[in-house]
Structure 1
Amino acid sequence: MPPQPSTQSSIELLAQVPVFEALAPVDLGRVADVAVPRHFTGNTVIFREGDASDTCYIVGRGHARAVRENVDGRTITLAHFGPGDIFGELAMFDDEKRSATIETLDDVEAIAILGQDMRRLLREHPDIAVKLVIGLGRRLREANERLARQSFQTVQSRVAGVLGQLVRQAQSEGAGERDVLVTITQADIAQLAGSSRESASRFLAVLERAGVVTQGRGRVTVHEPSALERYVY
Structure 2
Amino acid sequence: MQRNELTFPSTSFLGRLSDESWNELSSLWTVKTYRARHFLISADDKDSMDVYFVIDGSIRATVYTDAGREVSLLTFSNGDCIGEFSALDEAPRSSDAIAERDSIVARITPEQFRVLVRKNPDLSYTLLMLLVGHLRRLSKRVIDFNAKSADERLRDAILDLVEKRAGNGDSVLIDRPPTQSELAAVVFSSRESVAREMGRMRNAGVLLRVKRSLHIPSVTKLREYVEAAAP
Shared fold per TM-score greater than 0.5: yes
Distance in 2 (CA, whole Å) between partners of 1:201 and 1:38 is: 35
**Is 2:57–2:102's contact at 8 Å kept on the other side of the alignment?**
yes
Show the counterpart of 1:80.
75
Aligned residues: 226
Q: 2:148 aligns with which of 127, 148, 153?
A: 153
Q: Structure 1, unaligned stretches of length 5 or more?
A: none
Alpha-carbon RMSD: 3.2
SS in 1 for 2:158: helix
Q: Percent identity?
A: 21
State the distance in 2 between where 1:222 and 1:25 align: 39
Q: Give the counterpart letter for 1:166 in structure 2.
A: L
Which aligned pairs between 1:88-107 and structure 2 lie closer than 5 A? 88-107=83-102
Q: Which residue of 1 aligns with 2:104?
A: 109
SS of match in other structure, 2:43: coil
TM-score normalised over the length of structure 2: 0.78
1:150 Cα deviation (Å)?
4.5
What does residue range 1-233 of structure 1 map to in structure 2 within 5 Å? Answer: 5-9=1-5, 12-13=7-8, 16-19=10-13, 23-52=17-46, 53-126=48-121, 128-171=123-166, 177-215=171-209, 220-230=214-224, 231-232=226-227, 233=230
Q: Structure 2 vs 1, CA of residues 112 and 68 (structure 1 numbering), >3 Å: closer, same or farther?
A: same
* Alpha-carbon distance in 2 for matches of 1:22, 1:179: 30
User: 1:9: Cα distance to partner?
Assistant: 4.4
**Structure 1 length as normaliser, TM-score?**
0.78
- Decide whether the 8 Å contact of 2:13 with 2:80 is kept in 1: no
Aligned 8 A contact 1:20 1:132 in 2:
no
Change (3 A) 1:98 1:37: same
> Structure 2 counterpart of 1:6, which letter?
Q
- Relative distance call for 1:216 and 1:185 in structure 2 (3 A) is farther
What is the DSSP-based 3-state SS (H/G/I as helix, E as strand, rest coil) of the residue aligned with 2:154?
A: helix
Look up the SS of the partner of 2:105 in the other structure: strand
The alpha-carbon deviation at position 205 of structure 1 amounts to 0.8
Distance 1:28 1:90, change over 3 A: same
What secondary structure is seen at the aligned counterpart in 1 of 2:75?
strand
Q: Say if 1:7 and 1:32, in contact at 8 Å, map to a contact too.
A: no
Q: Which runs of 5+ in 2 are unaligned?
A: none
SS at match of 1:42: coil
Looking at structure 1, the residues matched to 30 and 170 of structure 2 have their Cα atoms a distance apart, in angstroms, of 32
Whether contact under 8 Å (2:70, 2:185) holds in the other structure is no
8 Å CA contact 1:62, 1:82 repeated in 2: yes
Task: Report deviation, 1:148.
Answer: 2.3
State the 1:122 CA deviation.
2.1
Q: Distance in 1 between matches of 2:113 and 2:140?
A: 29
